[in-house]
């Protein structure tokens, strides 16, 4: 049986991968099946140019990565664009504000923020709305102290916020919202969640 040898792109140069010539078709088929079975990204582009988009008109694209338990929301609105990353595995979320060249990190509130599966299902509705239900609200107070070690938030957030001033935000209890008067930056997720980042750190940039 004749063998075909190749160094391959993933093998050190001195090592050779040798397979029988009549098995080349089988190996190709197995490789294609593996690619098909690998959990991929689900991506949705949703127009949020309506009254629910308090932060301004634009388009949001939602990417769901079930393999890594991560959701990514891109709000494309010119200079007011922002990107949010929800890392369900580590329990942290980060929002990158392009106009302010800043990253904000906070703990995920699983009682208010939708699960990865729920967000996936809602995004599939392509902006049909929530049937009249008001969006949930999360408001955060942003610390004035920069984060000195991004790695504690996981590699996904560390990669997104690398090289940017990054601040931790603490959720403001719902009972205190009525008495909170500081100006805030809104980064709303579709029609389901209104998120505000408040404090002098955000307003001064």
More confident residue, 92 or 46: 92
What tens digit of pLDDT does each residue of 123-137 get? 887 655 555 678 899
CA atoms within 13 A on the CB side of 108: 20
**What pLDDT was estimated at residue 1?**
52
Residues contacting 41, CB < 8 A, separation 6+: 63, 64, 65
Choice among 86-95, 115-124, 144-153 with the minimum mean pLDDT = 115-124
pLDDT level of residue 80 (50, 70, 90 thresholds): confident
* pLDDT (mean) for 151-156: 96
pTM above 0.75, yes or no: no
pLDDT level of residue 6 (50, 70, 90 thresholds): very low
**What pLDDT was estimated at residue 145?**
94
For the cut 70, the answer to whether the pLDDT of residue 154 exceeds it is yes
From CA 192, how far away is CA 203, in angstroms rounded? Answer: 25
Alpha-carbon Rg of the chain, whole angstroms? 22
**Could you tell me the residue ranges of all domains in the chain?**
3-37, 41-203
What tens digit of pLDDT does each residue of 176-187 get? 666 566 688 999
């Amino acid at each position: 049986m004749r063998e075909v040898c190749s160094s391959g792109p993933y093998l050190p140069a001195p090592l050779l991968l040798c397979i029988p010539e009549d098995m080349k078709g089988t190996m190709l088929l197995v490789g294609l099946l593996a690619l098909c079975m690998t959990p991929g990204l689900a991506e949705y582009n949703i127009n949020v140019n309506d009254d629910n988009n308090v932060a301004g008109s634009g388009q949001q694209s939602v990417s769901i990565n079930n393999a890594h338990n991560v959701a990514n929301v891109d709000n494309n609105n010119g200079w007011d664009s922002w990107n949010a990353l929800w890392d369900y595995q580590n329990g942290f979320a980060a929002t990158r504000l392009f106009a302010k060249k800043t990253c904000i990190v906070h703990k995920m509130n699983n009682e208010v923020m939708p699960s990865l599966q729920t967000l996936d299902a809602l995004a599939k509705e392509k902006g049909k709305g929530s049937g009249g239900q008001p969006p949930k609200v999360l408001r955060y107070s942003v610390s004035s102290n920069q984060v000195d070690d991004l790695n504690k938030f996981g590699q996904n957030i560390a990669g997104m916020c690398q090289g940017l001033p990054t601040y931790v935000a603490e959720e403001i209890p719902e009972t205190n919202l009525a008495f909170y008067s500081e100006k805030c930056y809104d980064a709303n997720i579709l029609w389901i969640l209104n998120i505000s980042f408040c404090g002098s750190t955000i307003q001064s940039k």
